[in-house]
Amino acid sequence: MLIAGNWKMYKGPAETAAFCRALRDQELDGVDVVVCPPYVSLATAVELLAGTEIGVAAQNVHWDGEGPYTGEVSASMLRELGVYGAIVGHSERRQYFGETDETVAKRARAALAAGLFVIACVGETEDERARDETETVLRRQVGALGDPDENLVIAYEPVWAIGTGKTATPELAQEAHALIKSLLDVPVLYGGSVKPDNAAELLAQPGVDGALVGGASLDLDSFTAICRAATR
Ligand code: 13P
């Protein structure tokens, strides 16, 4: 089981340091734990979690090694910092920053080639689900990612469940995860309002290999409660 905390645009270096100091004192055996701070806080997280089993990943990564791409960061720069992986294709990137299946795939392939671990996000919007297009959307998004890789995992994040408090039922999550796994044989995390009180039930589904946690990953107690639910 892998539990990854996507901090989004929360926690600068000072808050990151306080969180990581507290996190490294926790007993979290039997679960792989990753935190994904904003770029400016990555170095702090890497430094404070060095020597622990907890991984540090970025929230995005560019496909070129360097170049005239204002506001972007490359895989080799992340590697230089000691960062172990990156999220790509989060729905907030697709929705607000123009990411497409093509750019997401370019980011994912370049990051894998550079030796990073990649969490690639897919998921349907509320409208797409209402129009019965979930399967079509997932087939398109997963298909664009290319071949399986030992350093690739997918996060299924139904967009209507992100930050809304609405969670996919365990059955609905299982159905989507089974479809994704039939398309690409990689572990699949569930994301979308995962909280301490629903984590165990979601993680108990056979197709659910872990969780990508947003809001609940910002608080140490709720994040570690989710990590512990993954060990049961
Ligand atoms: P929430 O857990 O806040 O719904 O966010 C999910 C998410 O987007 C994780 O990447």
Could you tell me which residues are beta bridge partners of residue 211?
Answer: 3, 190
Amino acid 163 reads G
Distance CA 2, CA 19 (A): 19
Catalytic residue, candidates 90, 92, 124, 177: 90
| pLDDT tens digits, one per residue of 10-32 | 999 999 999 999 999 999 999 99
Question: Which atom, in ligand 1's list, is nearest to the CA of 194?
Answer: 2
The pLDDT mean for the chain works out to: 97
Q: Is 177 a catalytic residue?
A: no
- Taking a C-beta distance cutoff of 8 angstroms, is the pair 182, 148 a contact? no
Nearest CA to ligand 1 atom 2: 214
Mean pLDDT, residues 58-82 taken together:
98
Looking at residues 74-92, what average pLDDT do you find? 98
pLDDT for res 66: 97
Category of 193 on φ-ψ map: left (φ > 0), alpha (ψ -120 to 50) or beta: left
Match 């990137």 to its residue by tokens: 93
183 against 163, higher pLDDT: 183
User: Is 135 part of the annotated catalytic residue set?
Assistant: no
User: Which residues' Cβ are closer than 6 Å to ligand 1?
Assistant: 6, 90, 157, 162-163, 191-194, 212-216
CB count, 10 Å around CB of 181? Answer: 18
With the C-alpha atoms ordered 185, 186, 192, 195, is the resulting torsion angle positive or negative? Answer: positive
Residue where the block lists tokens 């399967």: 135
Report how far ligand 1's centroid is from the alpha carbon of 113 (Å): 27
Quick: pLDDT tens for 138-176: 999 999 999 999 999 999 999 999 989 888 899 999 999
Alpha-carbon distance of 177 to 120, in angstroms, equals: 14
Instruction: Give me the half-sphere count of Cα atoms (radius 13 Å) on the Cβ side of residue 187.
Output: 17
Q: Which amino acid residue places its CA nearest to atom 1 of ligand 1?
A: 214
Question: In this structure, are residues 3 and 35 in contact, taking their beta carbons and an 8 Å threshold?
Answer: no
Radius of gyration, CA atoms only, the chain: 16
Q: Indicate if the pLDDT at residue 91 is higher than 90.
A: yes
Point out the ligand 1 atom lying closest to the alpha carbon of residue 215. 3
Say if residues 126 and 95 touch (Cβ distance below 8 Å). Answer: no
CA count, 13 A, side-chain hemisphere, 14:
0
Quote the ligand 1 centre to 68 CA distance (angstroms). Answer: 31
Atom of ligand 1 nearest to the CA of 217: 2
State the distance from the centre of ligand 1 to the C-alpha of 194, rounded, in angstroms. 7
User: Tell me, what's the pLDDT at 174?
Assistant: 95
pLDDT level of residue 39 (50, 70, 90 thresholds)? very high
> For the chain, how far is it from start to end, CA to CA, in angstroms?
10
To test the pocket of ligand 1, the residue of 7, 92, 193 to mutate (highest count of ligand atoms within 8 Å of its CB) is 193
Percent of the chain with pLDDT over 90: 97
Average pLDDT for 188-198 = 97
Query: How far apart are alpha carbons 167 and 109 in whole angstroms?
Result: 30
Atom of ligand 1 nearest to the CA of 91: 8
φ, ψ of residue 117 in degrees (nearest 5): -85, 135
* DSSP symbol at 62: B
Residue 165: what pLDDT?
86
Q: Out of 99, 124, 128, 157, which one is annotated catalytic?
A: 157
Is residue 107 within 8 A of residue 62, CB to CB? The reply is yes
Q: What is the pLDDT of residues 108-142, one digit of tens each?
A: 999 999 999 999 999 999 999 999 999 999 999 99
Q: Assess contact for 155 and 212: CB atoms under 8 A.
A: yes
Pocket test for ligand 1, best of 153, 195, 213 (most atoms within 8 A of CB): 213
| pLDDT at residue 232, as a whole number | 73
